[in-house]
Structure 1
Amino acid sequence: MYKPIYLFIGLRYLWNSRLTSFKKIITVLSIIGISIGILSIIITLSLVNGFQNEFKKNILSFIPHLIITNKNYYINESDFPKDILKLQNIQKVSSFISSKVLIKNKKNIGIGEIVAFKENNYNFFRNYNIKNILYTLNSQENNIIIGKQLAKKLNINVNDLIKLIVFPNSKKNLLTKKFNEKIFKVTGFFSTNNEIDNYQILINTQIALNFLHYYNNYVTGWRIWLKDPFSFNINIFETKKNNLLFLDWQLKQGELFKAVQIERYITLLFFISILLVVGLNVVITLTVNMIEKKNIIAILQTQGLCRKKIMLIFITLGSSTTVIGNLLGTLISFVLILQKNFLNLLTNIFFNDISIPIEIFPFQIFLINIIFISISILSTLYPIWSITKSTPSKILSNE
């Protein structure tokens, strides 16, 4: 005798040589529907992960995720709030000197932002790809390195002399206070393929202190990079605490952040919709099977098969369909993801020259499969309970 009996009977109901062509088609379509659902979810999540990774890499790696300063943007380094270091999300912290400036050369005028470079702190500028010219930013010469797009916009070349003008921080002194201005030599360009190429200017820290009339122990504030900027909530701080201001990256990249948030909500809605479709698919398929086999259920009960084992038969039938669909959908999605050219080909039908960033998280795939299987098992409980609550005599009385 086959053991366990409920597993053997459940799999026999799923597929055997005596099934009619119509029932085989229904079973195959059910599996295909679940496969398409799981495939769509995995590919969509992989695309969302890829886009978020590109967002972090290309944008959030260059701008600080949190800035701590005061209303004057001029603060003593000893005022740094050390309790911020207790956050587990902190990746690196650095003081910085920065200011908006007016850029003037022979023919053009533009606006940029100077960022001070510390000679012993090359790691913060490794993504700028300017290691071979960083030595020019020394404390003895008024040299600067500017973004390639900014240089192109103002028609600036290497070794050109340009004038930088700093505006007063206070609006009250805008007309009365003399502007700081100085001539600088452009010793090179940086290109990060990021928006900072359009406005940022690198300058030596000591030169910046003299240019901005800062005392040696004063800075503009502190820049903080986080391990996961998406999980950071600025509301855990008071926006003004001890005369300090906490400014997060969402203020500067608000529109992009909203786009990422909308992307997340759409993915969640899509995931819930697929779950509902799969659940309804299992319920309908299983209900039809059970109505058809209600007489067999009654006969099994009269032969001594308990209600629990009868329920396990149909749980096996419903969950096996989902398991097969999940495995098939996961396998196909992996093949499609690994063959990026195929996905790019499909995308280029609607959009031209778009490279699709894809990133797979195995834990996400495992969790998706577990959720789908759990939903399918839960979907079987009501139709099973409703059909097995009837007594064999009541079912067979109509025969």
Structure 2
Amino acid sequence: MFHPVSAFIGVRYLRGRSGDRFSRFVSYMSTAGITIGVMSLVTVLSVMNGFEAQLKGRILGVLPQAIVSHADGRTPNTSPPDFLEQLPSSALPEPIVQGEAVIQSANTLSAGLLIGVKPNDHDPIESFLVAGRLSSLQTGQYHVFIGQSLARGLKVSVGDKVRLMVTSASQFTPLGRIPSQRIFTVAGIYNTGSDVDSQLIVTHIDDAARLLRLPTNTITGWRLFFDDPFVVSELGSKALPDGWKWQDWRDQRGELFQAVRMEKNMMGLMLGLIIGVAAFNIISALIMVVMEKQSEVAILKTQGMTKSQLIGVFMVQGASSGVLGSIIGGGLGVLLATNLNSILDSAGVALLSVGGQLPVLVNPFQIGTVIVMAIALSLLATLFPSYRASSIKPAEALRYE
């Protein structure tokens, strides 16, 4: 069977002889280092992807992802403007009333974001309800939905009364300036497992408009939904018709997701250095092999082997460690990531609260990129030792043989 001479000799050198134990040991350590580095990087990135996706679903699934409104904040509640049809939204635009409010119970008070919506079956908050139904939000009944953390802080439950106050809609009276306020009934409680539970207050759009003292048939703007909430960074940079403005979730949660993304990048960089250290081990291992094989390289050159063929011999030997380590590490990383919660449970390690599990999201494209970059780094590490081997002069190497 035909074998390329460079690959054939490179594989023979990779196996080594019984006297090359130290060189083989260094080569095996290089392979193990790349395997551990790739496995760790794949596992950590999968967990960080899971956290990012969980935040995206829990926070951006409930908060208004984007709102398009008149520049003065008062938009006629007639029909969505025509230019919204050109946006890649996942659902039809819905009217929304939004404003900052203070909620007070018999025990304490807290500040939050008040949004008024039209209740429907596909509203994102419906899937997070732990008490009550969204259909109970009826106009004129002044019902309100609050998060579980906020309900715990206010010490209220379903059926209790709370007072909502809006300072932006205050009015002057003989007693001074008094904010707009109204008694609401807690009709439901939701739980997203994020800090939104302590801030977001949901009520019917008509009740919110009355509390904010908006004119009849007037809303804050049109609420937009997207399959990927991160698309707002691209859409927000587009120019809107005169008199319209754009606002999205980045105004309230942009710093949180930037911090998550930065942490993810820093973890990737730190673990990538492990792969870099293992690649440098390939250089040291190959240099030792080149020193041991000087006479053999000289004989190969006298038999007509070209420089490029000699470079190929040692690139095959060195890159084999990177290829094997990257592929094995990628496979072990996927296996570890998918079974991480089971392994932690069997070891009795609880990183989250009772019943909580680490979110894991395996991204095949990301894993492929990590493996390819690790292989490329390994190939890069073989260039100098391979070039040094090809520069050996046969007469000097065989002088004392």
Shorter-chain TM-score bucket reads: 0.7 to 0.9
Q: What's the CA shift string for 1:140-179, capped at 9, x where partnerless? A: 5333333333333333343334443332358999x96664
Provide the secondary structure at the position in 2 that maps to 1:253. Answer: helix
Report the equivalent of 2:332.
Answer: 332
State the distance in 2 between where 1:349 and 1:195 align. Answer: 22
State the distance in 2 between where 1:109 and 1:124 align. Answer: 26
State the distance in 2 between where 1:259 and 1:91 align. Answer: 27
CA spacing shift, 1:338–1:145, aligned 2, 3 Å: closer
Q: What's the CA shift string for 1:197-216, capped at 9, x where partnerless? A: 32333322233334433345
What's the offset of the Cα at 1:111?
Answer: 3.5
Instruction: Find the partner of 1:375 among 374, 377, 389.
Output: 377
Give 5+ residue unaligned stretches, structure 2.
none
Return the letter of the residue paired with 1:102. V
State the distance in 2 between where 1:393 and 1:276 align. Answer: 36
Return the letter of the residue paired with 1:381. L
Aligned residues, how many? 397
Provide the secondary structure at the position in 2 that maps to 1:202. Answer: strand
Kindly report the root-mean-square deviation, in angstroms, between the aligned alpha carbons of the 2 structures. Answer: 3.6
State the distance in 1 between where 2:104 and 2:256 align. Answer: 31
CA spacing shift, 1:323–1:106, aligned 2, 3 Å: closer
The answer to whether the Cα contact below 8 Å between 2:61 and 2:125 also exists between their aligned partners in 1 is no
What's the offset of the Cα at 1:338?
Answer: 3.2
State the distance in 2 between where 1:392 and 1:380 align. Answer: 22
Provide the secondary structure at the position in 1 that maps to 2:102. Answer: strand
Report the equivalent of 1:125.
Answer: 125
The answer to whether the Cα contact below 8 Å between 1:234 and 1:248 also exists between their aligned partners in 2 is no
The answer to whether the Cα contact below 8 Å between 2:75 and 2:220 also exists between their aligned partners in 1 is yes
Provide the secondary structure at the position in 1 that maps to 2:322. Answer: helix
Provide the secondary structure at the position in 1 that maps to 2:168. Answer: coil
Matched, 1:233 2:233: yes
Q: What's the CA shift string for 1:295-315, capped at 9, x where partnerless? A: 211111211223222222112
Normalization by structure 1: what TM-score?
A: 0.83
The answer to whether the Cα contact below 8 Å between 1:95 and 1:219 also exists between their aligned partners in 2 is yes
Report the equivalent of 1:160.
Answer: 160
Q: Which runs of structure 2 are paired with 1:152-301 in the superposition (5 Å)? A: 152-169=152-169, 179-230=179-230, 232-233=232-233, 237=237, 242-301=242-301
State the distance in 2 between where 1:140 and 1:191 align. Answer: 25
Report the equivalent of 1:94.
Answer: 94
Provide the secondary structure at the position in 2 that maps to 1:22. Answer: helix
Matched, 1:68 2:68: yes
The answer to whether the Cα contact below 8 Å between 1:237 and 1:246 also exists between their aligned partners in 2 is no
Report the equivalent of 2:358.
Answer: 356
The answer to whether the Cα contact below 8 Å between 2:117 and 2:205 also exists between their aligned partners in 1 is yes
Give 5+ residue unaligned stretches, structure 1.
none
